[in-house]
Copies of this chain bind each other. A is one copy, B any other.
Amino acid sequence: MNIRFYHARILTMDGGCVLQEGELWTSGNRIAYIGPGKDAKDIVWDEQIDCQGNVLMPGFKNAHTHSGMTAMRSFADDMPLQEWLNTKIFPLEAKMTEQDNYDLTKLAILEYLTTGVTGIFDMYLSPKDIARACVEMGMRCVLVSGLNKFGPSVAEMENRYNSLNGMHPLITYRMGVHAEYTCDKALLEEVSALIHKYRAPLFAHLSETRLETDECLERYGMTPPQFFDSLGLFDFGGGGYHCVYFTEADMDLFARKGLHAVTNPGSNTKLASGVAPIGRFLEKGINVAIGTDGPSSNNCLDMFREMFLVTGLAKLLQKDASAVDAHEVLKMATVNGARAMGLSEADVLAEGKLADLIMIDLHQPNMQPLNNITKNIVYSGSKQNVKLTMIDGKILYRDGQFLNGVDAEAIYAKANEIIARLSA
């Protein structure tokens, strides 16, 4: 497929938030050209798209999610994290089949497409089924193990690491554990041995709540990041999800080791977990990415909501309206996410990079006037402005319609059927 986008404002995110006017061409799954209009008479176009001055930019990277939790959206709200997990979520998950996970992931993928997400960092049950849904629907996915004392075994994680990496160009798999509070020390030591065998980075939920941090301090005399580091779990990089209750020493560790902090403000807000010190992370030079967390804690998978919350909560926390500028947030939602996820070919718009991109509709009242388009995206943008989502050179969503043969109503029906069965 050769696709020509013309009359575009292009935000490459390559070195800042600067827009250039011109064209972007894709060939197969790659970006073939970015620049002013030029002669293309040798090229047979499959489609030529008049962007009408709209913005082309890298797709958002949702750097922490649990896609298959769509079944539990608005199933149990208004409860704190531990109670919510133990009394509502874990009992349902115990009944969830691999096929359920596949079907529920498909529902999440639809939502990602509507909000311009072109890559997800997904920690959930049966990763082969997440991969199956993503490949079928065309979503780029970095799977990450959510290993804990209930499963999978370390041997199984190793097996998945070897079988899922390389299974399909859209899929990679990373080692990870759910969290300190769901693993005992011996298990984490086993994981560390595997990490060292493969020289692999490791990701985990880290310091999400005050309770988690306090209990870890009590158990080991160390915060979760320090404890993980003491076991060598971060010897080859990686990072943490949530990262709310980080001490200065935790941040210094992240900075020193080049670890990635993925912030999840929607979930941390709705569960009353707290506000991550994002301004401090930036001051320390830590790579901060953004994730929605799962759809039953958030409850939506909307990168625009997350972007506003990242900057808004930082402004409130620091009592400073200039804290965490919109442009930093746009980097977090795109290039920083790609960096955390190891998607070095899907980070910015440039010739030779993977064609994972979105079109932002400026012809809507919330984006007018055009005083500052990039600030508009963060401060007044909405998923309704996502006019087109392309992953790996394929247009999967456009003008509110799912393409690629997707039957959205069938996916909705299946999700309703699953939650009815699981909660019966």
The answer on a CB contact under 8 Å between B316 and A274 is yes
In the complex, chain B residues whose CB is within 8 Å of the CB of A229: none
Taken together, the copies of this chain in the complex come to: 2
The CA-CA distance from A193 to B168 in the complex, in Å, is: 76
Contacts of A368 in B (CB 8 A): 70, 73, 107, 411-412, 415-416
Shortest distance between the CB of A319 and any CB in chain B (Å): 5
Q: Is the Cβ of A322 less than 8 Å from the Cβ of B73?
A: no
Interface contact B363-A408, CB-CB below 8 Å: yes
What B residues does A275 contact at CB under 8 A?
316
**A326 close to B (CB within 8 Å):** yes
Cross-chain contact A365 with B114 (CB below 8 angstroms)? yes
B74–A379 touching, CB < 8 Å: yes
With a CB–CB cut-off of 8 A, which chain B residues contact A107?
365, 368-369
Range of interface residues on A (Cβ < 8 Å): 35 or more
Does A270 sit within 8 A of B, measured CB to CB?
Answer: yes
A194 contacts partner chain B, Cβ-Cβ < 8 Å: no
Most buried by B among A77, A372, A408, A419: A77
Known: A269-B315, A318-B272, A419-B369. A326 touches B78 (CB 8 A): yes
| Interfacial chain B residues near A286, Cβ < 8 Å | none
- Say yes or no: B321 contacts A271, CB within 8 Å: yes
B321 touches A372 (CB 8 A): no
Q: Are B380 and A84 in contact (CB under 8 A)?
A: no
Known: A302-B366, A368-B107. A269 touches B74 (CB 8 A): no
Interface residues in A363-421 (C-beta closer than 8 Å to B): 363-366, 368-373, 375-376, 379-384, 400, 408-409, 411-412, 415-416, 418-419
CB contacts (< 8 Å) of A71 on chain B: these are 369
